[in-house]
Amino acid sequence: MILVAGGTGRLGSLVVADLLARGNRVRVLSRGTGPVPQEVAPSEVMAGSVTDPAALEKAVEGVDLVVSAVTGFPRTDPARVDAAGNELLVQAAEGVGAEVVLVSVAGAAPDSAMGLFRAKFEAEQALGRSSVRGTIIRPEAFADLWIDLLATTARRSRRPLVFGRGDTPTGWVAVGDVAALVTRVVEQASLRGTTYTLSGPERISVTELARRLMASRGWPGSPRHLPVAALHVTARLPGRSGRQAEAALAMDQPSPVHDDTRTRVPGLPSTPLAELLGRAAVRSEGHEP
Ligand SMILES: NC(=O)c1ccc[n+]([C@@H]2O[C@H](COP(=O)([O-])OP(=O)(O)OC[C@H]3O[C@@H](n4cnc5c(N)ncnc54)[C@H](OP(=O)(O)O)[C@@H]3O)[C@@H](O)[C@H]2O)c1
């Protein structure tokens, strides 16, 4: 039995669907605060939070591999979910002798300017300290999510809003490509026990991504920018807005990324941004004002 914590999320639901389609038995841990995606429904969905040791003890019963695709960002404090919650999940896995595949982030570091990245680093460290055989997957930003976010900020102006300078090159990766790596790692024991960084095929800034989104929809002009000074003020606020502003400021700082995953795991998909922009345009049809 495979437990997928975060199996209702953007990445997790694709992983669950892939694993079910390949005949695996899958259990999903969810707080149960939202609807269960259709593709996840055939799995065994168990209510509980990664912050609750008793719920985790039940969730790992009969499990030999745990996938963590959870995140509290941006709604809740990553220190609670991505750091402490993942540490509890690792302890629960250790209790039943299960392996763990931890979805972290590219750039996770103890001195990152972003709380989420520090929390992910703490989770990686907790996994390393445990006796569990662990695999860490560090994707760059999910291209599909960012295309949707930029499209949402464009609304009537048809000019996406970029938080900050937005000039740092990023290797936007398709969430489906990340799901394919997670599934490969889950199904092939020889690929486990190591760390993978996964980037997309192109490295462009968020401003350039916004420009390409505009070009793909035929929107004239150029993206708008939320000034860095405004982000500094917002980053001091507690809660979601503060965390998002802090993340935008951190994204303006380039951090080196070394991705050799497609050499180590041959045959992984590498979906071009143009294809993701095209799919997003099709999804948005019918929602245009
Ligand atoms: N989005 C990106 O650009 C990006 C980039 C690199 C890495 N990642 C990582 O990739 C993974 C998946 O990201 P995503 O964008 O697919 O996330 P998402 O769509 O926001 O989903 C988050 C998931 O976490 C679960 N969750 C949140 N708090 C929980 C708690 N206390 N207990 C149990 N489950 C909890 C949610 O489940 P319920 O709501 O059902 O409880 C949901 O399934 C995360 O680890 C994320 O940090 C994301």
Domains of the chain: 2-139+175-198+256-269 (3.40.50.720)
pLDDT for res 253: 86
H helix intervals, 22-107: 53-59, 78, 86-96
The 10s digit of each residue's pLDDT in 220-245 is 999 999 999 999 999 999 899 999 99
Q: How far, in Å, are 77, 149, 262 from residue 180 at the CA level?
A: 28, 23, 11
268 contacts: CB under 8 Å, gap ≥ 6? 177, 180, 181, 184, 261, 262
Distance CA 143, CA 269 (A): 14
Helix (H, G, I), strand (E, B) or coil at 236: coil
Ligand 1 mean position to 31 CA, how many Å? 12
The 10s digit of each residue's pLDDT in 61-91 is 999 999 999 999 988 989 999 999 999 999 9
Residue nearest to atom 5 of ligand 1 (CA): 141
User: Which residues line ligand 1 at a C-beta cut-off of 6 Å?
Assistant: 5-6, 8-12, 29-31, 33-34, 49-51, 69-72, 81, 85, 103, 105, 139, 141-142, 145
Q: pLDDT-derived band of residue 177, with 50, 70 and 90 as boundaries?
A: very high
pLDDT for res 27: 98
Among candidates 131, 139, 135, which has minimal Cα distance to 192? 135
DSSP 81: I
Q: Residue 44 — φ and ψ, nearest 5°?
A: -90, 110
Distance CA 241, CA 31 (A): 23
Ligand 1 mean position to 230 CA, how many Å? 27
Within its chain, how far is the Cα of 148 from the centroid?
A: 14
Q: pLDDT-derived band of residue 285, with 50, 70 and 90 as boundaries?
A: confident
Helix (H, G, I), strand (E, B) or coil at 72: coil
pLDDT for res 75: 87
Ligand 1 mean position to 11 CA, how many Å? 8
Locate the ligand 1 atom nearest the alpha carbon of residue 175 and give its number. Answer: 16
Higher pLDDT, 287 or 34: 34
Share above pLDDT 90 across residues of the chain, in percent, rounded to a whole number: 88
Question: Would you say 58 and 48 are in contact if contact means Cβ atoms under 8 Å apart?
Answer: yes
Peptide bond before residue 74 is cis, with ω within 30 degrees of 0? yes
